[in-house]
Amino acid sequence: MSFAHRAPWPGLGALFAGELFRFRFQLRPARAGWLGPGDGDAGTLARRREILGTPRGIVWTPAANATWSRVEDRLDPALVLSAQGRREPSERAREVSGHWAPDFVLLRLMGGEHRMVGGSVCFPSGWDPVEKLGGTLAMIHGPVPTLNVELGERIARFIAGLGDGDAFERDNWGVAGTGRLDLHPCDEAPRIMDGAGLEGLWFRLEEQAFMGLGDGHVLFLIHVRTWPLHEVMQATSAREAFARMVTSMPPEVARYKGLAALQARP
């Protein structure tokens, strides 16, 4: 897995396949390199460290300590070394996150359901990790219209079935009015306005990975890339397919994703 900047590639067009929009949970075996420092952009890592210096940089419960210990057993030694001297698991996780390109969420089986017990999400796509802490998968996905109905059970079964060492990945996409990575709701990020053209919009790709750590512990990773939307359309030749996805999106989903103004365009 390379975290370096790269130009949009033709294969991104597969994200718009289909006649109508629907939530999809398509998985593939995870690439190697997710658990290493990779070759992340220095500026991006510097921004991560800025956010990690704030209270929202790390969200944590005591239940996360055992899960993080399992993560550390699998991390690249260079990342583990970056946290040398930190005694508390949450502080070690904070130090590691400052050298690791993806965000991460720690899930643990508790009371028969997986719950978010900790994590470091510096670049959320419009959600607040503090509000999700301790929540079940259904609670975490609750604000997303129709997602639990369409995929909730399938996602829960998949997470519950992850064996120790199992690793899969998938992609999730969105559109924003800015190319910045951090879209935490506490900040007033530019929204997509009525009449916006492709030249003023940004495509947002979340590369996601799920890793089983054994005994009900799961690591969820999110790596965000952004490009001007018109560059993605040029690279994929998928303008018509993209337009079909947007126009066929249920209105409540379009509002949640901030695409209502774009959906209203002819």
143-169 average pLDDT score = 94
At 132-143, the pLDDT tens digits run 999 999 999 988
Handedness of CA 16, 19, 23, 26 (dihedral sign): negative
pTM for this structure?
Answer: 0.95
Task: Pick the range with the lowest mean pLDDT from 31-40, 88-97, 102-111.
Answer: 31-40
Residue 194 has pLDDT above 60, yes or no: no
Residue 119 has pLDDT above 90, yes or no: yes
At 2-51, the pLDDT tens digits run 999 899 999 999 999 998 999 999 999 999 999 999 887 889 999 999 99
Higher pLDDT, 1 or 198: 1
Say what the pLDDT of residue 197 is.
62
Say what the pLDDT of residue 226 is.
96
Alpha helices, DSSP H, located in the chain: 42-52, 64-72, 77-81, 89-97, 129-132, 137-141, 147, 153-161, 229-236, 239-247, 251-256, 260-263
Dihedral angle of Cα 211, 102, 65, 118, to the nearest 10 degrees: -100
Count the residues in the chain.
266
255: confidence class by pLDDT, cuts 50, 70, 90: confident
Give phi and psi for 126, each to the nearest 5: 85, 20
Residue 247 has pLDDT above 80, yes or no: yes
At 208-244, the pLDDT tens digits run 999 999 999 999 999 999 999 999 999 999 999 999 9
In angstroms, the CA 185 to CA 182 distance is 9
Say what the pLDDT of residue 266 is.
58
Say what the pLDDT of residue 263 is.
76
